[in-house]
Structure 1
């Protein structure tokens, strides 16, 4: 039933994509609503609610978007869907931004960052930073509050940095568009235009869809307006208008109409200016986008004032102030009263009064923001103190666990010594029993000479039968003790594996709490070494042979785990593992696994930075009758290569890894070589004498 439902959904999406975009959007919403009537898993139901809410948001139906977002939350919480909770808070942040509820928008953005960080989604974190940039741009835009604009620029630049690392070109174009808008608010119009052109170049390089150009064309038109290039502005804005009309993007159409009205106003074409302005008013009142509504009212007030229609100019100015008061919570009663007094005055007096009122409002807003900053700094310091206390508590716990680990190792060694002593005692008893059996047999033979063959044979048979029962009983005891020993060893390996998993988790938690990249990298290296040892113990307790490791499966699992840890997938990475030896003693497998872990890690870190087709070859060969019997390990990559002299250098970056490989090589009595052969080739030979030890 579920497979049929998903097939039907896919077919529906294909059919809708071929129709008119507006109709397709509405049909998609209807089909998703129908999907909610079926019995769905919580995760599927949550994503369906999200898709409906996102569709309503794109149509600027903000109330409907919030209505369908609300039930999504409980389904994501029920399934502990961190990514879903992040998407819920991100879309809520955007809707609240357009409604002018800035405080709620910031809280949702912070929650989204927290969830996306926990589930390791840097691309989604970049989206949150992008919307935080828009939020602070909106708070500081019209009043030119530099502190808010600079904070918005900071968040946009953070989004650009992440998207550049991820090579997310589509989102990178959006980042540059909004960075350009902030530069315009800071009156750096040429730098803003450069950002818009960068976004345009990115879309051209990626052969983007027409809908990806609509915002860029609109912003280039607005920038041309500011710089007095009104004819060029009309060209750009008409391109954006054609795309938005086809897609029925209400909010974007309002931006186009508003900017076209401004262009025609300065081109001395009042009829066209008024026509586009009225179109913007008709659409913006449907969108319920408070910041956009404010900007349209401001434009209409200025336009009607320029053509001498002061009554309409005053009406739109009052509505603009009303929205500004609801957005920024400023006491602008004095400004509105002064505007009413200037209604009867001439045009020049009116404009001067409006500018004076805005200057006063700006001063008050700056004072309020500075006060809020002090509170924010105090809150940050308090949070920092709480985090320091939390880190100290984690360190204390780690110390206690380390002590418990050492004590457990001591108890384990003590038990192993006791088991060895019992084994020797059992062997000695077995020898005594054998000697006794031989002596009784000889005694029976001598007695048979005295009392006769018949009685001697009967007596010997009875004695031999009794001894056989004793030997059988002792043999059963030895088998039982051997099984107990094997069980104890498997339990030992299981507990060691669990302890290593705890250490690995602690290292991960510690890395997540650090901001120093070097410290994070150092902890991750330690975590990878611990995981390499943990794999050995896991394979030991999963088999009956507690001292033998399947080295072929172990090296395959280790290399694939590290490949995924560094962000590669089998589809875009050539991983070759050739292991001729099936099994290996744990005393050799453990240090050999650590050496392979270190060499593979070095390849992933330094070899594939600029390599489009990365290759890693791991080969373990066994030669028995050769001139140099033993096993040979080869690890080769297709990176730029490293010289043997560079490998021997003792510097901070490679000193510990090199010393670890050298120490483990000496422990294995092996010989390590490093050469450059279409990349870096590391070869380790372990002699047969060490394997037999």
Structure 2
């Protein structure tokens, strides 16, 4: 009862702070609207419209934000205010990311980088890279794609490089906060924590308001939650919570309450966990952040389950799955890739245009210089020719007299020689005409042969061209069908995994309503078998290989999930996995996974009851015998062992697990041995003929 009164009081306090913040924002908007009525320069008017849109964005009034951004864009285009267009695209990107429209947000962010680069606003380029890092983080988290998270790391590191160059300590602090969150999403919690502490140091150096550390405190709390240090997590989260309440940051409050709920779930305090989870739901609805609501519903379902409210837990799980399916859209991923390619093409074209313009200007300058030089050289040459002509004219008069006499003496002799030469030329020409006539005849025959061959080859080429077009079309059709089949198979595995997850959740809820220990144990074993098959389909839809399973990852995930299910800590449990055959066909992997699931379950039920340091070894390798004949699976524990003779008695009625192991071994055409070697050792031999079937 006290908890309910406290919840009502907190909601009243948040509502009071919200009204105060909204009043301040409305007052600012009214003041800016009054400024718009005055006569302003276009850049000032564009900046004022941006401030109004930003104020509405902070109030989550996206329709009003869009309205003023449209007005701002028309002013920026009319006045060619490039930096203003950068601010327009940056705010559009942030708004569309909050609404879960990732491809549109990515397009606006890329346009913002182009505008800020043209206008020389390097710091704003860094801020957009910061936003794109967070956008890819949200995409990676909502769609379970690590490649997006790594792309977010690259954008965040670009922002850090720019801000280090500008020595912008405050922006660097913000960069390291989000860099730490990205490392956490990739499971690198130690690196994430180092980034958060580095952000705190940078904040102190820049004399940043201590209230700005609220994000760092919240992320440190999330980090310690992931490491299982829940008391330490609560201490940091309680530092962040009062600041966010004072500032009325609904999105940040949703993060705070969700992380506090996670911490109290870890401490088995279900009442407090449920209280904070419901607060997180209230705040995330107020913030209208679709991606964040996915994780909030996930924590809320766990809190309802811990509190025994299984109907609400089931509804929360369904809502989480609905949001997850909405965000994980193959069409969105394909559109983002196309936009990224268009953006890179646009940048390349703009760079090429700038280079061409520079080359053209340089060529025009060189041509102008060469033209001037040519004119000068032509003038000098004309002067030289004029002087030489005068000198030659004087010499020619004297030479002409002497030449006239000589020409007269030799004229007669030359005419006689010409007559003899003409007779000889006539004879040679007659001989050449005869030879040319024979050559032309031979050439005509060769050309006729070549034309005949040309027409034959041309007809053959036409037939080959038609056949090539048919083959090319068939190849395109087969490629298209292959892509469609791959997409359908991924979607099928994804749907099967979701359906198995729902079946597992239903079995888990059923366990909580049972009182018979044997019935509970039977349902839990069935749930574990469902989860073993679910892991197979989860791996298939996350990779491009639709019929091949990575056995190392699969068997490790399967073993660790069973370790947690039976109350052990994977970090301290001695688990030895030796996988030589990394990849297997799904038809082989599923029976092996179910056999391993049964053997591990039996080990936890019987082998470790009196064992202080339990050990489990799983090996999958080739046959090491002198004549290798296939694949060997080994599963071994360090328990008291098993009576092999009792296990193989034909008159004893085998359990379901034993029948399942025998049936799956026969399905694999294999045979198995049970040995006592410092515990129970199960060894299954699978023949090569089954592996290649």
| TM-score, normalised by the number of residues in structure 1 | 0.48
| TM-score, normalised by the number of residues in structure 2 | 0.48
